[in-house]
Amino acid sequence: MNEGRIQKVQNWLKQEGHTFAFIHTTANVFYLSGLYSDPHERVLGVAVLAEGEPFMICPGMERSQAKDAGWTYEIVGYSDSEDPWAKVQAALDNRGVTAASSIAVEKETLPYARGEKLLGMFDGANLVGAEELMNELRLIKEESELKTLREAARLADYGVEVGVAALREGVTEMEVLAKIEYELKQKGISAMSFSTMVLFGEKAGQPHGKPGLRKLQHGDFVLFDLGVVLDGYCSDITRTVAFGNLDEKRREIYDTVLQAQLKALEASKPGTRIGDIDLIARNHIAEAGYGDHFPHRIGHGLGIDVHEFPSMSDNNDGVLREGMTYTIEPGIYIDDVGGVRIEDDVYVTADGHETLTKYPKELQIIK
């Protein structure tokens, strides 16, 4: 648990005049409490009061995990036969919260029925969004977070290394994927940041393609997109290599993506408009004649969630700040030809940036 983070939420509640916040998403509960748990359909959340001590509501079977995670305030547990919302109301009553003008919640993800439960506790209360606050708190990484992100990135590099070493003619995408995840589990990784992608040949031309039983052939692009979850934090890397010799068209595509990515990295420093990071790479790709084949934004924020605030899209007028972490991942995708994407995890330093993922990016031809 990080007491300073709780205090920042309390300060915001007082400043804005809200009675309390009920934080329920897995990532934000972890950020405030240290407990990383997906309760599925069960209720789990942290209540932070403008005045009074916070508490956690969680399934009774997870109480010990919450304690082990470092939560030192009250843990309100419940059994599957009990109403968790009655427990929440009782905990609020015990803290003297018998009326509420506004309750801060993550409105974009809070189920409607749960919002009704909270509103039903108080006459005249309304729900306000807590997303902007939580995004801002999580945007700038603390030194302890950066240390974990560096190690998660190192393990992502290792995953690509394992995948490249497993390439041989006739191997399937799923066989290579299984080798990557097995070797990462041997390193203690229990969860990937997202479904690992290993795509061969024309399937590399699908930005979010699904690995299958496609066999590796000479002349194929091989696209790896993977990341690990380490102590609650995610990494995300993409590398594209060639199996056997490539024709000039495919070499041109690769070099175009690489140069676009390097230009975007060069601009990654405090004060740069976020949208310009996208435009720098996008314009380079367009000038090479492939503008219609770069269909997604340049990247996304990275941290507890593999995709988090901010969106690194061309219309984002925000600016880069020291402590931010995000991805830079331009790509070109052409039907029946294949695709290339190169992605790194980036941390903004005081006067530039640090690239956390370090697996080589120069074109590798595997023979």
Is residue 202 within 8 Å of 335, Cβ to Cβ? yes
307, two tokens: 């995709």
| Positive or negative: CA dihedral 360, 361, 365, 367 | positive
Is residue 238 within 8 Å of 248, Cβ to Cβ? no
* Distance in angstroms (rounded) separating the CA atoms of residues 2 and 34: 8
* Positions in the chain short of pLDDT 70: none
* Distance in angstroms (rounded) separating the CA atoms of residues 321 and 273: 10
pLDDT of residue 2: 85
* Distance in angstroms (rounded) separating the CA atoms of residues 183 and 155: 10
Predicted TM-score (pTM) of the model is 0.95
CATH 3.90.230.10-classified regions of the chain:
140-366
Q: Give the pairing of strands 102-105 and 126-129.
A: parallel
pLDDT of residue 5: 98
Q: Other C-beta atoms within 10 Å of 360: how many?
A: 12
CATH 3.40.350.10-classified regions of the chain:
3-138
Is residue 316 within 8 Å of 322, Cβ to Cβ? no
CATH number for the segment(s) 140-366: 3.90.230.10
Residue pLDDT, tens place only, 167-215: 999 999 999 999 999 999 999 999 999 999 999 999 999 999 999 999 9
Burial 123-139 (b: 16+ CB within 10 A, else e): eebebbebbebbeebbb
Tell me the residue type at 197: M
Residue pLDDT, tens place only, 284-300: 999 999 999 999 999 99
| Cα separation values, 301 from 167, 180, 257, 264, Å | 31, 24, 20, 15
Residue 325 is given by DSSP the state: E
CATH number for the segment(s) 3-138: 3.40.350.10
